[in-house]
Chain A
Amino acid sequence: MKFFYTGVWLRRLRGALLILVFISVFLYIFSLNFRTPNKMDVLQRSVTETVSPPIRLFGRLFSALEQFFKDYIWLKNLRGENESLKSEIAELQNKVTSYQEAYVENQRLRRLLDFKTSSMAETIPARVIVHDLTGWFQTLMVDKGFQDGTAPDMPVVNDEGVIGRVLDVSDRYSRVLLITDQGSAVDAIDQRNRVRGILCGKDANGCLLKYIRGNLDIKEGDLVISSGKDGIYPKGLRLGVVLAVYKDPVDLFQKIDVKPMVRLSALEEVLIIKRGGAGLGVEEETRPAAAQPRAEPATKAVDKAVAKPPAQTTSKAKPQLKPQTQTNPKFRSQGQTKQPNRPREKSQTEPQGKAKPKPNVDPR
């Protein structure tokens, strides 16, 4: 009888322990929602490191299969011709853009050259392994991690503009939070008139430029760039183009839809900007002027334009230098253009036929 009761008691204890373990595990997983971005813990790292390679392999197989269907079965000649024509159009548009802007470029050449020289930030090229599995969050996984020098909060860009920032790092992989995620916020300015706001993620297709007062001048097609004031993104990186502006007379702020410059759903390679790299961003601004005599005029001019209170100037500020993109020779060979400082909005061709909005750039 005693043994019987002991057995029942042990069984109940085992059940209770099991429930306790499950609850603990679930609480641990749920607590991950509230942690600050950091290096992934052991469990996350082991899952990421183990599952990523097969997923990557499957992705390659999938891409190869897709490519095969596209190239050899489905309209082989037409597709090739279309691609060549598109690239030709892009090239011509690029030329036209460069001629139109020659005058402006000429005026700003010296400052631009200084800035370009100083903006050679160290970058880490990375390949996208997988986008968010569910499709409801705006994250992706790249194949560079702690071992390669990445750390949380490093900006992630490509030749078109800003993609996001590193959220967590594993040994060989990192999770990137895209600028379109609702949890993302970037300190941004309108390139045309230096109006400052916060670019927040909205959904997979766009962002919102928030906290722009209703009386400030924002137009459709304005180019939105990073201000460099948030301590994460360097100054002057292209974020997006104003798609629509909604002004409500009752509301203090206007609602501004921004389309990201980068086609985030089709990313394959990215650049992770190492923090503390020379040139771009806050680091450069805080560096003593004596340490960078060549860059002094440029930074002074930019600081003059941006040092005013957020979003308080409408159109009098000097135009900023053109948005900068990283120039990593290794990465450029994989498809980057050789003119990193030239706006490419007109030359970008959408594979699915969607034309990107053309940014307004103040020609002064």
Chain B
Amino acid sequence: MIASSSLTQGATVGRMIKITLYSFFVLALQAHLIPRLPYQALRVDLLLPLMFAIALEWPPLVGVLWAGFWGFVVDNFSGGFWGLHVGSYMVTVCLVNMASDRFDWCSPAYQMGLVGLCALGQSIALGLFLSFVPMDVPELTSIWIGLGIRTLLSVTIAPFLIYPILNPRNTI
């Protein structure tokens, strides 16, 4: 019984380390790869799909705290619109927890759907923030189109980012 318990504990710690390292890897990718992309529309938020996986892996409270921490890190390094990432990541974790009983989250379609919903919310918030500065209609339109494309890209890449954590083979 004790051996089984320690084994489970060891596996949990191992998974926590794995998730931490993976989160950091994604953050590093976000830091060094995304800003280099030539078009703003391509600059997706890689950590948002990750929060989806975190919500399924960890208990709600831990997941929310984790999301808040990484949101703060991203907010800190972007330096504009404080609270955007903290809020969106925490909302993502909460949404997944609230709907976890009703959906089969191993299905990429559901993953993409919920990540898309959260990315859309994030993009709308970002768009409203950027719209505070007076600008012409074409510029505003291009910003919103860019945000739309960004949302679609987030949806597309979501399963690829979630897979390393929510790999069914690992969970079995």
Chain A contacts to B: CB under 8 angstroms: 18, 22, 25-26, 29-33, 43-44, 47-48, 51, 54-55, 58-59, 62, 130-137, 139, 141, 167-168, 175, 177, 181-183, 202-204, 265
Residue of B whose beta carbon sits closest to that of A51? B73
Other-chain residue from A26, A30, A139 in contact with B79 (beta carbon distance below 8 A): A139
For B143, the closest partner residue in chain A by CB is A203
Contact sample, A vs B, 30 pairs, CB 8 Å cutoff: A18-B61, A26-B90, A29-B83, A44-B76, A47-B76, A51-B76, A54-B24, A54-B28, A55-B28, A55-B32, A59-B31, A62-B28, A130-B31, A131-B35, A132-B79, A134-B43, A134-B45, A134-B74, A134-B85, A135-B34, A135-B40, A136-B43, A136-B80, A137-B78, A137-B81, A139-B80, A167-B79, A182-B130, A203-B139, A204-B40
Assembly CA distance A131 to B34 (angstroms) = 9
B113 at the interface (CB under 8 A from A): no
**Contact assessment for A29 and B130 in the assembled complex, using a CB-CB cutoff below 8 Å:** no
What are the nearest 9 A-B pairs in CB distance?
A135-B43, A137-B80, A32-B82, A58-B28, A131-B35, A139-B79, A30-B83, A182-B133, A29-B83
Q: Measuring CB to CB, which residues of chain B are less than 8 angstroms from any residue of chain A?
A: 24, 27-28, 30-37, 40, 43, 45, 61, 64, 68, 72-83, 85-87, 90, 126, 130, 133, 135, 139
What separation, in Å, do the CA atoms of A59 and B34 have in the docked complex? 12
How far, in whole Å, are A26 and B32 apart by their CA atoms in the complex? 27
Interchain CA distance A154-B141 in the complex, whole Å:
34
A136 CA / B76 CA spacing, docked (Å):
14
A136 touches B126 (CB 8 A): yes
When chains A and B are docked, how far (Å) is the Cα of A215 from the Cα of B109?
58
Q: Which of B81, B83, B86, B130 has the most CB of A within 10 A?
A: B83
Known: A29-B83, A30-B83, A54-B28. A47 touches B73 (CB 8 A): yes
Q: Within 8 Å CB of B36, what residues of A?
A: 265
In the complex, A149 Cα to B35 Cα: how many Å? 28
In Å, the complex CA distance between A177 and B34 comes to: 18
A contact residues around B90 at 8 Å (CB): 22, 26
Are A47 and B72 in touch, CB under 8 angstroms?
Answer: yes
CB-nearest residue of chain B to A138: B80
Are A33 and B83 in touch, CB under 8 angstroms? Answer: yes
Instruction: Give the most central of A31, A136, A182: most B CB within 10 Å.
Output: A136
Do residues A26 and B86 form an inter-chain contact, with CB atoms below 8 A?
yes
